[in-house]
Amino acid sequence: MAAGLPPDVTVPAVFVFGDSIVDPGNNNQLKTISKCNFPPYGRDFAGGKATGRFSNGKVPSDMLAEIFGVKELLPAYLDPNLQIQDLLTGVSFASGAAGYDPKTSKITRVLSLSDQLDLYNQSIARIKAEVGDEKAASILSQSIYIVCLGSNDITKTFFGPFSRHDNISSYTDLMVNWSSSFIQELYGFGARRIGVISIPPLGCVPALRTLRGGFKRNCFDDANNAAILFNSKLSSLANSLKSQLSGSKIVYLDVYNTFLPLIQNSSQYGFEVSTQGCCGTGNLEVSFLCNSFSVFMTCKDDEKYVFWDSFHPTEKAYKIIMDQIFKDKMNNFF
């Protein structure tokens, strides 16, 4: 990864909260349909193994651990093989299909944000038992915390078929309030270096092009505008909390404007296809719809594709996005 830590800085651990973008396999342990621990997922991962990561290979939680010089892969907290040494250098609590809105997670029976915080609290107790209170406090205050949520709130809860919301302005206010509460709770548990990831250009993911983009499968502008609105509020929140919470570094990470050029000018980044995913037809397949039956129609060379399935980017696209974001933002954490 391109980004480097400032001199004389070490990061003991990375802890991640969020949805499928940063879930390395927590959902494998849940009774939910939001899973991907089967082929063709993970075909470019070490050993060609489907680990529960929603991509063909590594996902951003892994890349974050690498960017901050901690380790190559960030494990799922619920992984039954997790060792205490893994926990001391960080894990992901993220759960595919989760959102800031508790209803978003409830619909698909995945870990809500409060569930993820409970697991983090549990992990603090395990870390303290292993290294003592003083060392634990030092690890927690110097670690990096990343929060990556919001896409499912917009696509499923607000624009979904059973939505009870009709005002995107008030709904994004609610989302920001949930985000604010969560960041302050994390701070209360000792977190100081916190990154909040924006929502991507959702209206341009293949599934929304198919479902809401008309005959020509254009980007669904309403979803993009909702993302822009939420992101502006999230950015303001990050600045406001940074000044309120003493000693904190709260960093807004703009995925929207980093990702959009890959979709609009894909050939400049070495891609050939940006309107369809690699898996199956590339129009709707995601999670349980992208499965072993899709293998025969799945693209041969996913390096040419921005999207792996109809919602999630390929490892190559993720790497480009993460590199660009942290080239500019790395020093803001220290």
The mean pLDDT of 220-230, rounded to a whole number, is 97
Architecture in CATH for domain 14-203+220-256? 3-Layer(aba) Sandwich (3.40)
Q: Is the pLDDT of residue 53 over 60?
A: yes
Of 19, 20, 61, 62, catalytic: 20
| Band of residue 292 on the pLDDT scale cut at 50, 70, 90 | confident
Average pLDDT value for the chain = 94
Tell me, yes or no, if 165 is annotated catalytic: no
pLDDT tens digit string along 58-87? 999 999 999 999 999 999 999 999 999 999
Question: How much is the pLDDT for 294?
Answer: 74
Question: How much is the pLDDT for 2?
Answer: 43
Tell me, yes or no, if 312 is annotated catalytic: yes
Q: What does the domain layout of the chain look like in residue ranges? A: 14-203+220-256
Nearest to 26 by CA among 89, 84, 121, 93: 93
DSSP 8-36: T-----EEEEESGGG-SSGGGGSS-S---
Instruction: Provide the 8-state DSSP code for 76.
Output: B
Label residues 18-54 b or e (16+ Cβ within 10 Å = b).
bbbbbbbbbbbbbebebbbeebbbbbbbeeeebbbbb
pLDDT tens digit string along 89-126? 999 999 999 999 999 999 999 999 999 999 999 999 99
pTM over 0.85: yes
Decide if 104 contacts 153 (C-beta within 8 A).
Answer: yes
pLDDT tens digit string along 123-181? 999 999 999 999 999 999 999 999 999 999 999 999 987 777 889 999 999 999 999 99
φ, ψ dihedrals at 17, nearest 5°: -125, 145
Tell me, yes or no, if 20 is annotated catalytic: yes
Percent over 70 (pLDDT), the chain = 99
How far is it, in rounded angstroms, from Cα 199 to Cα 230?
A: 8
Residue tagged 């992208």 (tokens)? 290
Q: Is the pLDDT of residue 56 over 90?
A: yes
Return the SS3 of 253.
strand
Question: How much is the pLDDT for 3?
Answer: 58
Which one is predicted more confidently, 296 or 232?
A: 232
Of 23, 151, 309, 310, catalytic: 309
Of 34, 55, 95, 312, catalytic: 312
Question: How much is the pLDDT for 297?
Answer: 84
Percent over 90 (pLDDT), the chain = 88
List the end-to-end C-alpha distance of the chain, in Å, as a whole number.
19
Question: Cis link prior to 39 (omega < 30° from 0)?
Answer: no
